[in-house]
Structure 1
Amino acid sequence: MILLFVLSLYLTFGSVQNQGSSQDAFIIQYLERRLVQMEERLNQCEQNSLSITQKTYDLSSEIRSYQSTLGILRSEMESQMDSMSARVDRVEGELEYLENKIPTQSDIEMEEALLEQQIKAAELEQIKTKAKLNVDNDCSTALRQIKSLKIVKKSGDPNGSWFKDPSEGSAKVYLLSGMRNDTVLEFSSLENFTKTSSSPAKVVRLPFFWSGTGHVVYNGFLYYHKADTPNQILKVDLLNGTVVDSTLLPGAGRLPVYSLNPNTFLDMAVDELGLWVIHADPEYGGNLVITKLEIGTLSVEYTWDTQCRSRDAEGAFLMCGTLYVVYNTHFGGRSTIQCLYDIHDTIHSNESPVMFFPKRYTSHSSIHYHPGDKQLYAWDDGYQTVYKVETRSSDKTVAE
């Protein structure tokens, strides 16, 4: 019995000891896991602390930068305030001076009357000028449509100008190749010009280079924009190549006359009324301005501001005192007439339909109207082209 009791105690003690060892191991493992988790959290806290410290430093640097900028702005503002104060003082002084110099009411009335007389005189002079144009040139031809085209020849550079002398009895054809040159080729007739093997009847060397493509010939004289000058127009006798007259066109030459032809600043034109110059005025929104010149002396007869823009324009021509502006795209396409200006105020652009050139991709560097045969002579990427047009007179239509 005693032996059995002792054996039972031994077994019971051993079982209890084994159970205690298992619990201790579990507790140790649990504590180790908790320590690892705490260590990870401490590391995360340390990283967050470093990040916050860096952000705080960056923010303080940015604030210091703003403070520096504010300091500069404050100095500039103080300087501007000082300048403004000085200006105010100066204006006050000028006002005080003007108050002492203001004329009496009678002087003002006399000046107003004189100004009114001057305005009336200027208006009367304008009416006389327009009336003179109407009396001397009874012209009622207007463009109806552009009917067809004919490629006459391919000659010269991609850019240039060609035309016939519109003076009565002349059949001569002139070719001026390039944007800057001094050589004029003269042909006796259009038939002679179209012959591939024909040589020009005459080669004229000009005393000065031309600029752009806006030249014209009338009665044996060449009118062109002198190169390296903003607005000087020369009149050259083609018989001997000498300059017989010149003029400076006021306000011209500061802007290309057509944005799609940036090398042409003055565009000459001849119609039934005489000699014209077209240019773009930057002070008038870049719109086109037309000036009537006296063909003998090159003196300015009258100037008209038009509503036709130079942007996206490639050329223009005049017919009986009406300006027709041709527009296109930078990539070349079907040219259209979208704006016109009539000096007699009988044709209005907003009442006229858009006129299309014949279906063909074009890029005109010059377009000239011949008042005799009423055709357009154009230079299209090296091709000399003639456009037949249809005109109208009042309610009648005339096919050319």
Structure 2
Amino acid sequence: MMALQQASAFLVLFLAALLLPPQCAQDPAMVHYIYQRFQVLEQGLEKCTQATRAYIHDFQEFSKNISVMLGRCQTSTSEYRSAVANLALRVERAQREIDYLEYLREADICLESEDKTLAEKLIQEAEEEKKIRTLLNAISVTAVNCTSEADDPPSDERQKVSSSLNAVSQCLCHSPHFISSHGHFIIAHHPKKCCDNMLMGIKSLKIVKKTMDTHGSWMKDAASSSQKVYFLIGSRNKTLWEFANMRAFMEDSTKPAPRKLILTHSWQGTGQVIHKGFLFFHNQGTLNEIIKYNLQKRTVEDRMLLPGGAGRALVYQHSPSTYIDLAVDEHGLWAIHAGPGISGHLVLTKIEPGTLGVEHSWDTPCRSQDAEAAFLLCGVLYVVYSSGGHGPHRVTCVYDPLGTIGEEDLPKLFFPRRPRSHSVIHYNPRDKQLYAWNDGNQIIYKLQTKRKQPLE
């Protein structure tokens, strides 16, 4: 402040010497007037400085208050965010509980519908055996007559054979072990369970669990009444997780804890299946070796080399790690792989799970290009194709080894839209559902089916 007053005094003297004429330079009244005016100016500047300081102080207080309020807002935002996350978790848990209860209800209904007495089963099997023997005798006689009469049997004789064939097919529920070729008929054996259904639609989707792994597979034993759920993470691994039931799989915190099984060999791809307590998988590091692994004893039970050029190319274009896809349906164990050549059509092979012997192979018209997964239902191959993220996944190729159904017999089979391709889709013949893995989500698809049309 003293420096400001001194500067003002010097400024007054300088202006007085500069502005006043010589005759007025010594006028004390004028000097006094100018000095007073500068004092007023100094007072104004002082008030302005005080006001500026007050404004600065107020702004600092305002900034403090804003900072405190922003901190409170951030705290409230974190609390609200945590509350919303907890609410979403509770809603998801409730949805899982509802899904699990619905699953148990439907499982009980299925078990009740299939729970027959032993006497009824024995009587039914005896009647079927008797009917099959009668029809086989009729077919054999008719086929022999047709062959002995001419190379090309008359139409009425072929109609008789076709009629008998249709009757046997009804008894066998269109078993794929029924093979016909140029009037010669061979029946290997009929399946234990009747199966004459065809897929008509995908009814609904349920996300059972969410993980961070893009590829993997999960399943139940397709030929056992066990409620255990098996979880296989990744496309190259040897660690398998066994959950006691679906509830334990859905809720990680549920006891008992999952059992960790370390296999003696690593699997390749996501085409693993479990059938009667055995895990079947493509052995990593081999071209076409299939391993049959005993989950109870934790030992390799058997192994086989899948013929037909298996393992040389990806079975599905949109499944970048699977070269052999195994599947199980009502008729047993199957293998799917891409055939040789540029066309890359899928090859379907029926495998006897007990001996790992090849029963028969079919070259299908279904392409591996744009395919992402496939499954079998009642002996019929359904191949799922991807539209490259621009539309829903759909079944656009169907192959029936018996020729009883074709694509023209089926409606448009669309899957609920998912953002990415499926890592695997496998059918479980016990609960009649599809078990799928899509972008880290473990999914169940419920199906709508109807009876196949009889052979013509």
TM range (shorter): 0.5 to 0.7
2:392 matches 1:392: no
2:184 matches 1:139: no
User: C-alpha deviations, 1:53-92, integer Å up to 9, x for none?
Assistant: xxxxxxxxxxxxxxxxxxxxxxxxxxxxxxxxxxxxxxxx
Which residue type is aligned with residue 188 of structure 1? A
2:281 matches 1:224: yes
Could you tell me how far 1:268 is from its partner in structure 2? 0.4
191, 203, 206: which is aligned to 1:150? Answer: 206
Kept after mapping to 1: 8 A contact 2:272/2:281: yes
173, 177, 184: which is aligned to 2:233? Answer: 177
350, 354, 359: which is aligned to 1:301? Answer: 359
- Aligned partner of 2:321 in structure 1 is 263
- Aligned partner of 1:192 in structure 2 is 248
TM-score normalized by structure 2?
0.57
Q: How many aligned positions are there?
A: 275
- Aligned partner of 2:424 in structure 1 is 366
The change in CA–CA distance for 1:135 and 1:201 in structure 2 (over 3 A counts) is closer
- Aligned partner of 1:237 in structure 2 is 294
Gaps of 5+ in 1: 1-115
- Partners of 1:172 and 1:244 lie apart in 2 by 21
The change in CA–CA distance for 1:292 and 1:362 in structure 2 (over 3 A counts) is same
- Partners of 2:208 and 2:388 lie apart in 1 by 25
- Partners of 1:336 and 1:192 lie apart in 2 by 31
- Aligned partner of 2:260 in structure 1 is 203
Which residue type is aligned with residue 235 of structure 2? M
- Aligned partner of 1:254 in structure 2 is 312
What SS is found at the alignment partner of 1:263?
coil
- Partners of 1:125 and 1:381 lie apart in 2 by 49
User: C-alpha deviations, 1:344-379, integer Å up to 9, x for none?
Assistant: 210012442321012443420000101011000000
User: C-alpha deviations, 1:256-305, integer Å up to 9, x for none?
Assistant: 00000121000000000000000010238201111000010110001011
- Partners of 1:200 and 1:318 lie apart in 2 by 32
After TM superposition, the structure 1 = structure 2 runs for residues 118-137 of structure 1, keeping only pairs within 5 Å, are 123=181, 127-128=185-186, 131-132=187-188, 134=190
The change in CA–CA distance for 1:284 and 1:200 in structure 2 (over 3 A counts) is farther
Larger gyration radius, structure 1 or structure 2: 1
Which residue type is aligned with residue 411 of structure 2? P
The change in CA–CA distance for 1:127 and 1:265 in structure 2 (over 3 A counts) is farther
Kept after mapping to 2: 8 A contact 1:333/1:363: no
Which residue type is aligned with residue 294 of structure 2? D
Could you tell me how far 1:157 is from its partner in structure 2? 1.4
137, 142, 164: which is aligned to 2:220? Answer: 164
- Aligned partner of 1:26 in structure 2 is none
User: C-alpha deviations, 1:80-105, integer Å up to 9, x for none?
Assistant: xxxxxxxxxxxxxxxxxxxxxxxxxx
- Partners of 1:166 and 1:329 lie apart in 2 by 30
Which residue type is aligned with residue 222 of structure 1? L
274, 286, 298: which is aligned to 2:344? Answer: 286
What SS is found at the alignment partner of 1:334?
coil
- Partners of 1:133 and 1:164 lie apart in 2 by 26
Which residue type is aligned with residue 436 of structure 2? A
| Stretch of structure 1 that moved more, 312-321 or 345-354 | 345-354
User: C-alpha deviations, 1:201-249, integer Å up to 9, x for none?
Assistant: 3111111111000000011110000001110000001113210100000
Kept after mapping to 2: 8 A contact 1:332/1:361: no
- Partners of 2:322 and 2:384 lie apart in 1 by 15
TM-score normalized by structure 1?
0.65
What SS is found at the alignment partner of 2:268?
coil
Kept after mapping to 1: 8 A contact 2:389/2:420: no
Could you tell me how far 1:334 is from its partner in structure 2? 1.5
Gaps of 5+ in 2: 1-150, 152-178
- Partners of 1:279 and 1:320 lie apart in 2 by 19
- Partners of 1:125 and 1:174 lie apart in 2 by 45
Kept after mapping to 1: 8 A contact 2:404/2:452: no
- Aligned partner of 1:214 in structure 2 is 271
2:444 matches 1:379: no
- Partners of 1:182 and 1:194 lie apart in 2 by 22
